[in-house]
Structure formats: C-alpha cells, structure tokens
Amino acid sequence: MSAPRFAGASAIVTGGGSGIGAAIGKALVEAGAHVVLGDLDEQAAKAVAAELAGPGTARGVALDVTDAAAVRRLVEEVAAQHGGLDLMFNNAGIFIGGETEQISPAQWNAIIDVNIRGVVHGVTAAYPLMIQQGRGHIVNTASMGGLMAAGLLTGYAMTKHAVVGLSLALRSEAAAHGVAVTAICPAAVDTPILDKGAIGRFHGRDYFLKGQGVRRPLAPDVLARRTLDAVAEGRALLVTPRAAHIAWLIGRLAPGLVQRMSIRFVARQRSMQAARAALPQENP
Ligand SMILES: NC(=O)c1ccc[n+]([C@@H]2O[C@H](COP(=O)([O-])OP(=O)(O)OC[C@H]3O[C@@H](n4cnc5c(N)ncnc54)[C@H](O)[C@@H]3O)[C@@H](O)[C@H]2O)c1
C-alpha cells in the first residue's frame, strides 16, 4: 500500500476551528499530515482536532491572526517540533456584506486586519523559514470575491483581491527558492460565514444562493479535497466549482458585460432585501 499523500508533512491551518479550515484540517490528517489548527475560538479548534482520525495527527490552539507575534511564535514552535514547516494555510477570514455607505470605520479596519494583515502575518512568519528550508507551500484562502468584484461586497472583495495579488506575486518570487504558493478562490461554501457579517438588510444566504442562482453551496469537504489536489499539483489558483471557473473566464474576456450584469445583480438583491424586510419577523 502506498503512503498517504502528505505523510509526515507538518501543517498549520488558521481559522481551523470551523468551516473550510476544519475541513482542510480533516483532509490533511487523513492524508497523513501533522496539523495544528489555530483559531480565535480555541475551544472550537480543540473540538475539531479531537474529532480527527489518523493516519496524521491534529491539535487545536488559540491563535489570533491579527497578532503578528503570535503567528510567528506558532510557526517557530511547529517548525521546532517537526523539523520544519511544510504547509501554511492562511485561511482565517471574516465577511461583511451590505451597502458600502453603511460600513463603519471599525468594520473596515476589522476586515482589513483579519483578511489582509492576517494573511500577511502568516506569509511573513512562514516564508523566510521556507526559503531557509528550500521547500514549503503557502496556501492562501481568497475567494471568487478576489477575482470578480460583485456589488454589496466591497470590503470583502477588496481584501480578497489583495490576497490573490499577494499570492500570485509571491508565487513568482518563491519558485526559485523551492517554495510554492496557491490561492484558493471558491464560490459559496456551506459554512457558518454565510450567516455572519450582514450589514443593514443584507442577507448572506439570499445573496450567494438565491441571488446568484446557485442551487447549493459547495460542501467544505469537497473544497478541502480539491484544495489538496491543487496543492499536490502546485497550481497557482483553484477556482471552483466549475460554474465559478466559467464565470471567471467570461469576466476576463468581457469585463464590461460582467460589470453590467453586476449592476443588475445589485438591483435584484435590493428588491429581494426589500421583500424580506416586508415579511413578518421570523422570531419576534
Ligand atoms: N464559506 C464561503 O462561502 C467562502 C467562500 C470563499 C472564501 N471563503 C473564505 O474561507 C475562509 C474560511 O471561512 P469559512 O467559510 O470556513 O468561515 P467560518 O466562519 O466557518 O470559519 C472562519 C474561522 O476563522 C476564525 N477566525 C476569525 N477571525 C480570526 C482571527 N483573527 N484569528 C484566527 N481565527 C479567526 C473563526 O473563529 C472561524 O473559526 C475565509 O477566509 C473566508 O473568507 C469562504
């Protein structure tokens, strides 16, 4: 029997206490890796780690990716324990959606701190070490929102475009050092984030599912499997599912068309929000 795909590899997954991070952790452990799940929600990270079954191993730790020193300490600790760090998944992220004029300065700062600075902290901690090792792979969780800029997602789209830009630029520098970089750009994935970060009348599930005509969001385990495939293949970008990949290609060929569709999409969203607001409260 052949060894599991990531047998003995050491990995850190930020935001590993929920959703995509938890699913990536599970897939890595099943593939033989030794994984540390870091999350602001320490209990969630520990609970996810406790559920995972080998051949690899998992542990959950408290981690705030906005704290550069904490991210560095975790990278150093994992590298010391395992003789290096093979895989760094900068995955922790938050979401905000709604009318741009309603986003507060604190909300702008929070999304920049977690989604951009959090990834920068992971890169600045792991990349120099990986250069020294002459090996390693950095995987940044961006989003379709990092490739296509739909209205009512300005803050989120801005941060995810930054993650795509950072990842692709770094990838060209890192290749000569034996270090690979991948950005993952999924469309809607069925995780708790879809119900978080709504500003005003915004409604995440309506926006991503009804509004975009997606029948069902991607299952986190499916995305995790595709992510590990993309890592094993050393791909620059993972754009998934197929419909999202096609939409992205069309957007590159006909940006004007996509911009016009986006204006209509926002109008449709606003009428859906108005209709929802007119309904009696679900839980008075
Ligand atoms: N679910 C989707 O539809 C979707 C699509 C594309 C990209 N993404 C991206 O995937 C990533 C994971 O999101 P998810 O869908 O699994 O959401 P989620 O809310 O289920 O999980 C996010 C995790 O990140 C943690 N976190 C938040 N702030 C943190 C911080 N400062 N430090 C450490 N951990 C922190 C949360 O506690 C949570 O456990 C995010 O970057 C998100 O933007 C999600």
Rg (CA), the chain: 19
**Separation of 263 CA from ligand 1 center, angstroms?**
27
Whether 135 contacts 179, CB under 8 Å: yes
Pocket lining: 122 vs ligand 1, CB cutoff 6 Å: no
Phi, psi angle pair for 193, to nearest 5°: -60, -25
Pocket lining: 185 vs ligand 1, CB cutoff 6 Å: no
The Cα–Cα gap between 261 and 124 comes to: 38
Does an H or E element contain 185, and which?
Answer: strand 179-186
Q: Are strands 34-39 and 57-62 parallel, antiparallel or unpaired?
A: parallel
pLDDT reported for residue 179: 98
**Separation of 90 CA from ligand 1 center, angstroms?**
10
**pTM passes above 0.75:** yes
Which one of the listed residues 156, 202, 208, 248 is annotated catalytic?
A: 156
pLDDT reported for residue 216: 83
Pocket lining: 52 vs ligand 1, CB cutoff 6 Å: no
The protein residue whose alpha carbon is closest to atom 20 in ligand 1 is 19
Nearest to 12 by CA among 129, 91, 102, 113: 91
The Cα–Cα gap between 161 and 203 comes to: 22
Which amino acid would we find at residue 215? R
Q: What is the pLDDT tens value at each position of the chain, 284 positions in all?
A: 678 899 999 999 999 999 999 999 999 999 999 999 999 999 999 999 999 998 999 999 999 999 999 999 999 999 999 999 999 999 999 999 999 999 999 999 999 999 999 999 999 999 999 999 999 999 999 999 999 988 999 999 999 999 999 999 999 999 999 999 999 999 999 999 999 999 999 998 888 887 666 678 999 999 999 999 999 999 999 999 999 999 999 999 999 998 999 999 999 999 999 998 888 765 54
Cis ω for the linkage preceding 4 (within 30 of 0): no
Best residue for ligand 1 mutational test, from 191, 214, 239, 245 (most atoms within 8 Å of Cβ): 191
Pocket lining: 37 vs ligand 1, CB cutoff 6 Å: no
Transcribe 75-92 into DSSP letters.
HHHHHHHHTS--EEEE--
Pick one of 3.40.50.720, 3.20.20.140, 3.30.70.250, 3.30.1330.180 as the CATH number of 10-199+216-249. 3.40.50.720
The Cα–Cα gap between 87 and 212 comes to: 33
pLDDT reported for residue 212: 66
Pocket lining: 212 vs ligand 1, CB cutoff 6 Å: no
Residue 156 annotated among the catalytic residues of the structure: yes
The Cα–Cα gap between 135 and 177 comes to: 7
DSSP SS3 for 19: helix
The gap between the terminal CA atoms of the chain, to the nearest Å, is 58
Whether 5 contacts 56, CB under 8 Å: no
Domain boundaries, the chain: 10-199+216-249
Whether 60 contacts 42, CB under 8 Å: yes
* Burial readout 24-37 (b: 16 or more C-beta within 10 A, e: otherwise): bbbbbbbbbbbbbb
Nearest to 14 by CA among 32, 33, 36, 30: 36
The Cα–Cα gap between 86 and 31 comes to: 14
Pocket lining: 11 vs ligand 1, CB cutoff 6 Å: no
Bridge-partner residues for 57, per DSSP? 34
